[in-house]
Amino acid sequence: MNDCIFCKIVAGQLPSKQVFENDELLVFHDIHPAAPVHLLIIPKVHIASLVECKAQHEGLLGRMLLLAPRLAREHGLNDGFRTSINTGRGGGQEVFHLHIHVFGGGKMPHLI
């Protein structure tokens, strides 16, 4: 996607403070953190949102979720952390490229 900010980060066209990369995933610090630690796990392939995922993405989604606790530990979130996948405008999604927020390190507001 030519206008996707996360695709531009994957392509190296925009800078990011990366913390992890492999063949299919990229992880970097959110530029507008909601907590002292706020990471974004994104697939390198463009998938607009969770609702766009199909059975073929099952392994990718599992690897994204399994990476979250590893990154949380590496960033000192030993007392716990939160993950979030905002889906669609009504779900708070602002960048339409699938991503998992991993955040913590401070007093977290209670959600439903």
Q: Are 84 and 101 in contact (CB under 8 A)?
A: yes
pLDDT tens-digit map of 37-93 = 999 999 999 999 999 999 999 999 999 999 999 999 999 999 999 999 999 999 999
Structural domains present in the chain: 5-104 (3.30.428.10)
Question: Given CA atoms 39, 42, 44, 48 in this order, what sign does their dihedral have?
Answer: negative
Query: In this model, does residue 112 exceed pLDDT 60?
Result: no
Write out pLDDT tens, residues 92-104.
999 999 999 999 9
Pseudo-torsion of CA 38, 43, 96, 109, nearest 10°?
A: -30
Active site residues: 99
The whole model's pTM is what?
0.94
